[in-house]
């Protein structure tokens, strides 16, 4: 299975990515993880990326594509992969197509998890995290037994500074503005699978599997 996973912040992509990677025995490839790995290992690509980041600049598409291509050439990705966080733009999608063509392969599907922006804001604003063990709660959907106290370790629960309505709304808008052309790009190629993300986690996963195995 060669897949791309799309979805706005708070759509539950991380949970679904873990399930997909396990079921289909493919690596979950996050561009953020790739960057951190290359920078930590001091690879040439990592050094170039670090130079841009140190200057407060966005890493250019050409370098992002090189890093992704390098990762897709590793042994564990030869039988399939799940890309998360890439591509972000149509330019990157076109570059990925060229990389895959060079590898004599192509994408199977692009999974797009849809969640209403109002719900995404509610999910983020209500999130609470344990300072001690990092367990995650939600004041409405997954509340702790005792307010502000972690069920697992008794640690203090807190709200992240960026989990406020204004910041979350901006993050979601930026994501939607960036990715809507990308969704159209893959829809025209018959690759998009639209998944309703406002359901129970298990139901979302079941819908993904069903769509992939049609």
Q: Of 13, 48, 71, 109, which one is the catalytic site residue?
A: 13
Q: Of 71, 123, 127, 128, which one is the catalytic site residue?
A: 127
- For this structure, is 98 an active site residue? no
- For this structure, is 171 an active site residue? yes
- For this structure, is 88 an active site residue? yes
Judge whether 174 and 187 are in contact, CB under 8 Å. Answer: no
Q: Which of 154, 172, 188, 134 is nearest to 9 (CA)?
A: 172
- For this structure, is 71 an active site residue? no
CA distance 189 to 96: 14
- For this structure, is 13 an active site residue? yes
Q: Of 160, 170, 173, 189, which one is the catalytic site residue?
A: 160
Catalytic residue list = 13, 88, 127, 160, 171
């Amino acid at each position: 299975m060669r897949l791309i996973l799309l979805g706005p912040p708070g759509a539950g992509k991380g949970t679904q990515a873990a399930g997909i990677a396990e079921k289909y025995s493919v690596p979950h490839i996050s561009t953020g993880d790739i960057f951190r790995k290359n920078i930590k290992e001091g690879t040439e690509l990592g050094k170039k990326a670090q130079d841009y980041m140190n200057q407060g600049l966005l890493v250019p598409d050409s370098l992002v594509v090189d890093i992704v291509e390098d990762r897709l050439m590793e042994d564990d990705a030869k039988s399939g992969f799940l890309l998360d966080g890439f591509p972000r733009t149509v330019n990157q999608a076109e570059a990925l197509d060229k990389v895959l063509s060079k590898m004599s392969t192509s994408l199977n599907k692009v999974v797009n998890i849809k969640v209403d922006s109002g719900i995404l804001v509610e999910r983020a604003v209500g999130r609470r995290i344990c300072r001690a063990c990092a367990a995650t709660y939600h004041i409405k959907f997954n509340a702790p037994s005792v307010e502000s106290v972690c069920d697992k370790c008794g640690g203090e629960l807190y709200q992240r500074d960026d989990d406020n309505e204004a910041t979350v709304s901006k993050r979601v808008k930026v994501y939607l503005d960036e990715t809507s052309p990308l969704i159209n790009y893959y829809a025209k190629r018959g690759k998009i699978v639209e998944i309703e993300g406002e359901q129970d986690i298990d139901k979302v996963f079941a819908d993904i599997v069903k769509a992939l195995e049609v």
